[in-house]
Chain A
Amino acid sequence: MRPRVLLADDHLPLLTALKRLLQGECEVVACVATVADLLQHVLVCRPDVVVLDIKLPDGTGIDACRQLKAVVPDVAVIMFSAMDDPDIRAAALEAGAEDLISKHTIHTLLSAIRDAWARKNPMPDPLPERSDR
């Protein structure tokens, strides 16, 4: 069993690249570019993990995370932002995100998804270990 992941980012090349990176270990159930689409798709696709950009065209990732958690409290949210800003990180965690990773350390995304998935499923199917951290 693989984690079901929903990707939310308005930069199409990044979405495509992320999808390709994740597809071995995760099931990418949807890719969206707006908060409105995210809220709609999350109900239909029921992902385990949402990978959410901090800034979408129709709102901030922090507000979106709060709304997500209100609709589907058990979904794990991993946010990513351009900068590793401690204040933004604190706000993201406070909004209910599992983690916030900066885009230049995007290589840690897979392990962040693994961690979130492990927390959600205490006895999950073991994921193959890879040296991407």
Chain B
Amino acid sequence: MRVEDTPMSSRKLGRELGVPHLAGKAAKRAVASLEEALLTREEWLRLAAQGSQMGLWYWHERTQGLFWDKKAREIFGVHLDGEMTLETFYGAVHPDDLPRVKHVWRSQLESGTPYELDYRARRPDGSIRWINARGRGYYSKSGRPLYMIGVVFDVTERKEVELQRLQFSGRLLKAQDQERNRLAQEIHDDFCQRFTVLAVKLQTLAGTIERTDEQALAKELLGEFTELGSEIQSLSHRLHSSQLEILGLVASLNALRTNIAKDSDIRFELDHANIPDQIPADVALAFFRITQEALRNVVKHSGASKVEICLKGDVGKISLTVFDNGRGFNAERRGTSQGIGMLSMEERARMLGGQFRVQSRPSVEGTRVDVTIEFKQPQQILGGA
């Protein structure tokens, strides 16, 4: 691999870019003005880069040469002078992120799409930095990649704030669930049980009554008891449904689908495979709530005629895809109600270490939500079940 410590000359650049060949003074003038323009731009860029945590890089496809400026080297914690190779770069990327980095930047260069990726760098002292890398490829007339120019930003602080915010909202969501659960449990375990016991006792008593007028009163009392008990029970149910616990994830999703389909013209299809019987309660709840939110979005905003819900299990992980054929939306606009819904889904997935991705664009058919959560298989509960 060849070293490219300095950017190529304007002449060479012109050749690579296919600038028409000029001879004599005209050529000299053209090159001089091009060089001047380039120098000015380079100077601007250097000034801009100096004040920010931005490093510059350049990849030359034919020679497989890599150029990094000082800032880029500082960000990654690699040597400040001397040869910079692709191996040095790969060595500085966090091993867990390396396959993704290799795949994304190569495929973006080859496919002609601008490259943007967040990944972690591991400095020689062991510290971890978050990098936001962007780049753009340049191509020959036949579409062959010539080189890619890009920048890298050290976004560690932003990532840390994001992570804190994510953890905080995760805790908020969890606290809300726990509190609802606690209230519902208390209502169920205390009031509802007491009501049931009282109703049973009242009925036992009613069975011993001989006089018909007293029997009628007992029946009336029992009726009122039943009504009151039913209302308290439905309050507990609204706060926290134990359906998921009793039926399990697949049956609950199926019930959710049926319930939503009742009031809508949309066709909901549920497909599932290899879903284990024992899923940790928080993972099952996350999938349930994410699907609930995704379907709510579809019904409210998409104008879709069909939704496919697909749940697949693999060793120690479950993946969910919710795909609709609706009108799509701008997935980047997080301020809207739809965006907030998306954010809450993402947070539910991320707080369990899961991956969340939404693919959608306005006026383009379809929105696709993908969620994968890995988990440890829980121990078999004692006594079967």
Q: Which residues of A contact B (CB under 8 A)?
A: 11, 13-14, 17-18, 20-21, 24, 34-36, 39, 54-55, 58-64, 67, 81-83, 85, 87-88, 91, 102-107, 130-132
**In angstroms, how far is the closest chain A Cβ from the Cβ of B201?**
5
14 contacts between A and B (CB under 8 A): A11-B197, A17-B197, A34-B383, A36-B383, A58-B384, A82-B233, A85-B243, A87-B252, A103-B233, A104-B195, A105-B226, A106-B200, A130-B207, A132-B206
Query: In chain B between 238 and 256, which residues have their CB closer than 8 angstroms to a CB of chain A?
Result: 241-243, 245-247, 251-252, 254-255
A21, A102, A104: which contacts B203 (Cβ < 8 A)?
A21
Residues A24 and B207 in contact, CB atoms below 8 Å apart: yes
B242 in complex: contacting residue of A11, A55, A107, CB < 8 Å = A55
Which single member of A20, A62, A102 contacts B246 (CB below 8 Å)? A62
Closest to A61 in B: B246
Between A61, A103, A130, the greatest number of chain B beta carbons within 10 A of the residue's beta carbon is seen for A103
Flag whether B382 is at the interface (Cβ < 8 A).
yes
CB under 8 Å from chain A, chain B span 254-276: 254-255, 258
Contact A131-B219, Cβ < 8 Å, known A58-B381, A91-B251, A106-B199: yes
A36 vs B199: C-alpha distance when bound (angstroms): 28
CB proximity of A17 to chain B, nearest CB, Å:
4
Contacts of A104 in B (CB 8 A): 192, 195-196, 199, 226-227, 229-230, 233
* A58, B385: Cβ atoms closer than 8 Å: yes
A103 to B200, CA, bound (A): 10
Contacting pair B203 A107 (CB below 8 A): yes
State whether A83 touches B237 (Cβ < 8 A). yes
Whole-angstrom distance between the alpha carbons of A20 and B199 in the complex? 12
* A59 engages B199 (CB within 8 Å): no
Q: Is the CB of B193 within 8 A of A13?
A: yes
Which chain B residues border A107 with CB–CB below 8 Å? 199-200, 203, 222, 226
B23-35 toward A: CB 8 Å interface, digit per residue (1/0)? 0000000000000
- Among the listed B196, B206, B219, B384, which residue makes an inter-chain contact with A67, where contact means beta carbons less than 8 Å apart? B384
In the complex formed, the residue of B with least CB distance to A64 is B385
Question: Which residues does chain B contribute within 8 Å of A103, judged by CB atoms?
Answer: 192, 195-196, 229, 233
State the majority secondary structure of interface residues on A: helix
Give B65 Cβ to nearest chain A Cβ, in Å.
63
Contact of A88 (CB < 8 Å), options: B197, B201, B247, B382: B247
Q: Is the interface of B mostly helix, strand, loop or mixed?
A: helix
A62 to B262, CA, bound (A): 25
Contact of A14 among B196, B206, B382 (CB under 8 A): B196
19 extra A-B contacts, CB within 8 A, seeds A85-B243, A104-B229: A13-B197, A14-B197, A18-B200, A20-B201, A21-B200, A39-B383, A55-B245, A58-B384, A59-B385, A60-B246, A62-B246, A62-B247, A82-B192, A83-B233, A87-B258, A91-B247, A104-B196, A107-B222, A107-B226
A residues within 8 A CB of B196? 14, 17, 103-104, 106
Interface centre among B200, B204, B254, B384 (most CB of A within 10 A): B200
CB A114 to nearest CB in B, in angstroms, measures: 14
The interface size of chain B toward A, counting residues with CB under 8 Å, comes to 41
CB pair B382–A58 under 8 Å, yes or no, is yes
Across the interface, do A14 and B207 meet the contact criterion of CB distance under 8 Å?
no
B136 at the interface (CB under 8 A from A): no
Instruction: Tell me if B236 is interfacial: C-beta within 8 Å of chain A.
Output: yes
Among A20, A59, A130, point to the contact of B384 (Cβ < 8 A): A59
B234 interface residue per 8 A CB criterion: yes
Q: Is the CB of A87 within 8 A of B242?
A: no
Known: A18-B200, A55-B246. Contact between A83 and B234, CB under 8 A? yes
User: How many Å lie between the Cα of A83 and that of B234 in the bound state?
Assistant: 7
Residue B188 CB within 8 A of the other chain:
yes
Q: How far is the CA of A85 from the CA of B243 in the complex (A)?
A: 8
- Asked if B188 contacts A35 (CB within 8 A), the reply is no
- Residues of chain B with a CB closer than 8 A to A87's CB: 243, 247, 251-252, 254-255, 258
Chain B's closest residue to A15 (CB) is: B197
Q: Would you list which residues of chain B between 172 and 226 have a CB under 8 Å from chain A?
A: 188, 192-197, 199-201, 203-204, 206-207, 215, 219, 222, 226
Chain B residue numbers with a CB within 8 Å of A21 are: 200-201, 203-204, 207
Give the residues in chain B near A17, CB-CB below 8 Å. Answer: 196-197, 200-201, 204
**Nearest CB of B to A95, in Å:** 11
Beta-carbon contacts of B112-153 to A below 8 Å, as 1s and 0s?
Answer: 000000000000000000000000000000000000000000
Please indicate the chain A residues that have their CB under 8 angstroms from the CB of B215 in the complex.
131
Chain A residues within 8 Å of B245, by CB: 55, 60
Interface core residue of B236, B237, B385 (most chain A CB under 10 Å): B385
